[in-house]
């Protein structure tokens, strides 16, 4: 699944800038891997803040608010390794296929992104080379670590959604999305509702992984193509926009995950290499 390096003279990341990914608890002994595709709003200096206002980068178009705090708490409590994105989704969306139109958007939720306007093939390939592929190769490396131990990891994809998008209200407090792993998703949804009767849980809302736009996405690439179990969860951003609130929701999520872990523990390990 690794992408060959290739040659180009254009550089996006300076030598002293952060890595395109961050690994937390890399040797964790838990039974899964946590993935946060949109946890950062950082922009490489060469892209000059994507030529948009900082206040726009701080919005949902720049990152998934609260996901790093949620992921870090999950990693600590569940003792799972976690791979965090190092740069904003506006630089390159790690949760899309590299050739998808939404991988480097020219406009997001009515905000134009000048730094992405009319990108040449060469410039797109450079972002993929420096940011996209290193991130995904690191996820592959982490999954392979489980495979070598003959373990089947549960992939936990942590995302968050804005309460309003394109003038449409999104009332759900939390959402669970799926394509192939409906049984796992339904088990999680049932547990969330049982433990928290007042919550409005989205089932493949506000969007669905069954949509063609997610062919080539992170879960498609690392879970569905390798026949791995996964959970794709979305937290509403206004509910997790502080560390304290994010930890509270992470605790609720951990409790709801227990039936999922129990059901997977009863099954023999399997994973496509």
Enumerate the β-bridge partners of residue 34. 82, 156
CA-closest candidate to residue 258, choices 181, 203, 190: 190
- For the chain, domains (ranges, CATH) are 21-265 (3.40.630.40)
Distance CA 23, CA 95 (A): 17
Distance CA 38, CA 258 (A): 25
| 154: DSSP letter | E
Phi, psi of 145 (to 5 degrees): -65, -40
pLDDT at 179: 95
pLDDT at 166: 77
pLDDT at 266: 61
pLDDT at 61: 96
pLDDT at 267: 60
- pLDDT tens-digit readout, 196-217: 999 999 999 998 999 988 899 9
CA-closest candidate to residue 37, choices 172, 128, 144, 136: 136
Say if CB 234 and CB 128 are below 8 A apart.
no
pLDDT at 9: 55
Distance CA 20, CA 13 (A): 9
Distance CA 14, CA 168 (A): 39
- Intervals of the chain under pLDDT 50: 1, 4-8, 268
Say if CB 83 and CB 23 are below 8 A apart.
yes
pLDDT at 5: 42
């Amino acid at each position: 699944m690794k992408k060959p390096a290739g040659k180009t003279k254009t550089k996006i990341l300076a030598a002293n800038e952060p890595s395109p990914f961050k690994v937390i608890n890399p040797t964790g002994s838990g039974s899964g891997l946590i993935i946060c595709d949109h946890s950062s709003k950082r922009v490489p200096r060469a892209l000059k803040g994507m030529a948009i206002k900082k206040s726009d980068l701080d919005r949902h178009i720049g990152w998934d608010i609260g996901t790093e705090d949620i992921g870090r708490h999950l990693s600590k409590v569940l003792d799972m390794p976690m791979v965090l994105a190092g740069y904003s989704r506006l630089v390159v969306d790690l949760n899309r296929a590299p050739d998808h139109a939404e991988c480097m958007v020219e406009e997001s939720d009515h905000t134009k992104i000048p730094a992405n306007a009319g990108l040449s093939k060469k410039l797109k390939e450079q972002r993929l080379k420096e940011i996209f592929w290193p991130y995904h190769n690191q996820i592959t490396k982490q999954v392979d670590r489980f495979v070598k131990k003959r373990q089947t990891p549960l992939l936990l994809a942590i995302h968050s959604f804005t309460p309003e998008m394109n003038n449409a209200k999104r009332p759900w407090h939390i959402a669970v999305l799926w394509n192939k792993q409906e049984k796992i998703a339904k088990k999680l949804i049932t547990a969330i509702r049982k433990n928290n009767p007042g919550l409005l849980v989205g089932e493949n809302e506000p969007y669905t992984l069954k949509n063609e736009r997610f062919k080539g996405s992170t879960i498609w690439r690392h879970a569905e193509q390798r026949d791995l179990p996964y959970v794709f969860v979305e937290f509403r951003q206004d509910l997790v926009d502080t560390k304290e609130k994010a930890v509270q929701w992470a605790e609720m999520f951990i409790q709801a995950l227990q039936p999922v872990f129990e059901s997977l523990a009863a099954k023999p390990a399997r994973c496509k290499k």
